[in-house]
Amino acid sequence: MDSGEEDQDGMINSTTKTPTLNPGSIVGDWRTIPVELTNALFDLQLEEEATDRRVSNEFEYAATPPDYSEWFEERQYGYAILGIAGHELANRFREYAGLPARAKREWPLGKMLGRKEATERMRRERP
């Protein structure tokens, strides 16, 4: 999870790029995939765009220097939720294709779930 890195001016900057999903770049015959899976994939892309907007709005309207903690919190939380949804969708595709389940060590699902739960707990406890 990106917590940022301090620059020479004492400002905290992101160290990782945001994820990008582009299902339109996938080559193949989409007619071979069940409509529910195809729709779920494109819905995930829409959710990514909504997450990008929420994170951007948090930076523009709420986050304050030098640490921009509000922005980092929303960024970590939003992309954790997106990652969890991506993990679930990947499992559905793997099941449909008859592929074995992914090894737990190959996917940081635990980190994403932990970030989501920690942020939700922190937000509930705020005055």
The residue type at 118? A
pLDDT of residue 106: 62
User: Degrees (nearest 5) of the Cα angle 41, 43, 44?
Assistant: 65
- How many angstroms separate the CA atoms of 124 and 117, rounded? 11
Q: Which residue has the tokens 């990652």?
A: 83
pLDDT of residue 1: 64
Residue 114: CB atoms within 10 Å: 13
Q: How far is CA 30 from CA 9, 33, 35, 36, in A?
A: 49, 6, 9, 12
- The residue among 126, 120, 124, 109 whose CA lies nearest residue 1 is 109
| pTM score, whole prediction | 0.81
- How many angstroms separate the CA atoms of 101 and 2, rounded? 27
Q: Hey, which residues does 5 pair with through a beta bridge?
A: 13
Which stretches of the chain drop beneath a pLDDT of 50? Answer: none
Q: Which residue has the tokens 């922005």?
A: 71
